[in-house]
Amino acid sequence: MSAPITEYRVDLDDLFAGPLDLLLYLVRRNEVDILDIPLTRVIKQFVEYLDILEFIDLERVGEFLVLAGTLIEIKSRLALPRLEEEEPESKIEGDPRSELVQQLLEYKKFKDAAQSLEERAADWQERYPRLADDRPTSGRDASADRIKEVELWDLVSALSRIIRTKTVEKEGHIRYEETPISVYIERVSAQVRKEGRVSFASFFEGEKRRARIVGVFLAILELLRHHGFRAEQPVDFEDIWVLPPVDEVSSE
């Protein structure tokens, strides 16, 4: 049995990488070329994610609003009639999307490079496990851990589907949730360890208070990112399953 999980701070700024990360996810999800982003479809989906991000109450949601406004502006510029003699010499040159596309390509390049380094580091640790204890125990940025198997935005999308089917209590005034995140983490981890495999949606059954829904969601994210728990989604856009750490399963 693993040691109890202690209290710690949930770093939302590092958890949600930013609007370009969401935009890149939507491009991949729609299986389209970055150079030819379908703005109408992507804007609609981007705004849907904004709704759930505001529900979670992220302080950085303003950055997502800025990009949403940029997407809408680009779409309106593309809709303007263009004189034939003003046609650009190439598909990208003069396209209102060009600056955003370049930013997205640069972001993708650095993200792919970071993921490649992570995979190489993981492979190295598997080859030389005895050196694992020699790694520094302090100064590590735990928020840099990434969710395995299921992407962060898949989890946000799953929460959005759950919220749409619920009648969440609308609070007329700000109500502070007194339950610390560590309590939600203990509850979620205990359920997963007991049952072995728990559907993401089941964690929110019977919950109507916004603060509690957000608390459970953040607890699941922290278990996945920092405590070895895993998430699987057998079918795209269907339910997600949360599983205990591999080492706990193999030791049973």
Measured CA to CA in angstroms, residue 94 lies from 97, 123, 184, 246 at distances of 8, 44, 51, 51
**In the numeric block, which tokens belong to residue 203?**
């964690």
What pLDDT, on a 0 to 100 scale, did the predictor assign at position 158? Answer: 92
CA distance 12 to 199: 24
CA angle 208, 211, 217 (to 5 degrees): 90
CA distance 213 to 201: 11
Percentage, residues of the chain above pLDDT 90: 32
What pLDDT, on a 0 to 100 scale, did the predictor assign at position 95? Answer: 73
CA distance 35 to 232: 30
Query: Predicted confidence band at 147 (pLDDT cuts at 50, 70, 90)?
Result: low
> Structural domains in the chain?
1-143 (no CATH), 145-252 (1.10.10.580)
Secondary structure E strands in the chain? 198-199, 230-232, 241-243
What pLDDT, on a 0 to 100 scale, did the predictor assign at position 10? Answer: 43
The alpha carbon of residue 140 and the mean position of all alpha carbons in its chain are separated, in whole angstroms, by: 21
What pLDDT, on a 0 to 100 scale, did the predictor assign at position 236? Answer: 78
Tell me the backbone φ, ψ of residue 170, rounded to 5 degrees.
-95, 115
pTM score, whole prediction: 0.73
> Per residue in 154-185, pLDDT tens?
999 999 988 888 777 655 444 445 688 899 99
131 Cβ contact list (under 8 Å, min separation 6): 125
Residue 137 has pLDDT above 70, yes or no: no
Query: Which comes out higher in pLDDT, residue 116 or 4?
Result: 116
> Per residue in 15-60, pLDDT tens?
556 899 999 999 988 888 888 888 999 999 999 999 888 888 767 6
Query: Predicted confidence band at 11 (pLDDT cuts at 50, 70, 90)?
Result: very low
Of the segments 23-27, 75-79, 116-120, which one has the largest average pLDDT value? Answer: 23-27
